Amino acid sequence: MPLIDKTLYIHYHVLWTIPLSYLHSLQPLEGFFFQSLRAEKTMGSTQNTGSTLSSDEEAMLMAMQLSFGSALPMILKSAIELDLLGIIDKAGPGALLSTKEVAAQLSTTNPDAPLMLDRMFRVLSSYSVLTCSLRTLPDGKVERLYGLGPVCKFFTKNEDGSSISTISVLSQDKVFMDSWYHLKDAVLDGGSPFKRANGMPVFDYLGTDHRLNTNFNKGMFDLSCINMKWILERYDGFEGLKTLVDVGGGTGVALNMIVSKYPNIKGINFDLPHVIENAPTIPGVEHVGGDMFVSVPKGDAIFMKVICHSFDDESCLKIFKKCYEALPENGKVIVVENILSDYPDSGPITKFTTLSDAFMLACNLGKERSENEFEALAKGAGFQGFQVKCYVYSICVMELLKRV
């Protein structure tokens, strides 16, 4: 297995990819939500304890962090929706702003806004999302100044205008959050927590909710832009293809980037009709609506990026079999998915992939898988070959070969 570049690790508390989550350039994190207490153990003088923490005190603090942990993603969601990180970013590289300066750029007449922002920013600083510096004012009062931490590179727009902010906000959307309140009953009685909360499976629901469908597509667009840039730098398996079908390709962002680098490829973007209805015209790409459980357009190769984790094994096997039928004898399926390790260690990749797996459990009864599980599904669908080609943070690029 190729070495994983830890600088590319993104935690994305969510979904089909993100967002909170990150980088080795941050202080060592024990996951995005719950940092190690090692640093706190040596900070007794600033915490009014006067001594180091005992192991029981560390465990108690971890228990309390877990118990109050829902505050962090909701504060981050509000910070994104208010564009607070963008305000600091626009102030220039290395900028440090007070919450009064940030609040002055909001459309608000609330006199308490600076104080409320300061309380939010202190949380974000404690998790290294923001940096904090202290400034003593002429009257002797201490003022906190905040800057962007390294992780904010992914929460503020890059040169393509993309960020994982859309995925982060999407994962905290009330429609998805309601699913968690039904997880206990789903464990006891079976079924999908999302369906219990919303009356239908997630992808059916997206077809009925224009707002959520728009936000979902935007989140997938932004995440695809970020992930595909890295994939195209590392994976060369698109070379020599004539026709490439992107199954579950959304609005076509991945194919757009692929055919831009490989202009000789004809791209077919295949997804549900309500997904592609607003897809933009892309040179070299044809948008085709349909159902991958019924049939898949024919091509030299089929591309599936973060599709399998939305479905159970039986459904994935059906999709792989439809892909098998659509390929020539020398064809292949290129599968891009997060990979679960067999042992749940406490590293950042495992923390993200297990959170993503849990999100799938709550939202659609899909799941993340190990390399061995993907190989078994491939062989079960008739593919003779299975190869792991490269990794990008937690994402693995695999090839399913029809013949070897």
CA-nearest of 266, 227, 223 to 244 is 266
User: Do 249 and 275 contact (CB within 8 A), yes or no?
Assistant: no
CB atoms within 10 A of CB 94: 8
With left for phi above 0 and alpha for psi between -120 and 50, is residue 50 left, alpha or beta?
Answer: left
Question: Of the candidates 354, 333, 356, which has an alpha carbon nearest to the alpha carbon of residue 345?
Answer: 354
CA–CA gap between residue 68 and residue 62 (Å, rounded): 10
Of 11, 13, 182, 309, the catalytic one is 309
Instruction: Assess whether 309 carries a catalytic annotation.
Output: yes
User: Residues 219, 275: contact at Cβ < 8 Å?
Assistant: no
Alpha carbon 358 to chain centroid, angstroms? 13
- What's the CA gap between 368 and 4, in Å, rounded? 18
Q: What 8-state DSSP symbol labels residue 308? A: G
Q: How far apart are CA 252 and CA 258, in angstroms?
A: 10
> Are the CB atoms for 132 and 122 separated by under 8 Å?
yes
The H or E element containing residue 388 is strand 385-392
**Do residues 123 and 117 lie in contact, with contact meaning Cβ atoms separated by under 8 Å?**
no
What is d(CA 235, CA 228) in angstroms, rounded to the nearest whole number? 10
Contacts of residue 10, defined as CB under 8 A and 6 or more positions apart, other chains included, come to: 17, 18, 19, 21, 22, 154, 164, 226, 352, 393, 394
Helix (H, G, I), strand (E, B), or coil: what is residue 220? helix
In three-state secondary structure terms, 375 is helix
The whole-angstrom separation of Cα 243 and Cα 259 is 10
- Tell me which residue of 300, 304, 296, 289 sits closest to 325, measured CA to CA: 296
Residues with catalytic roles: 309
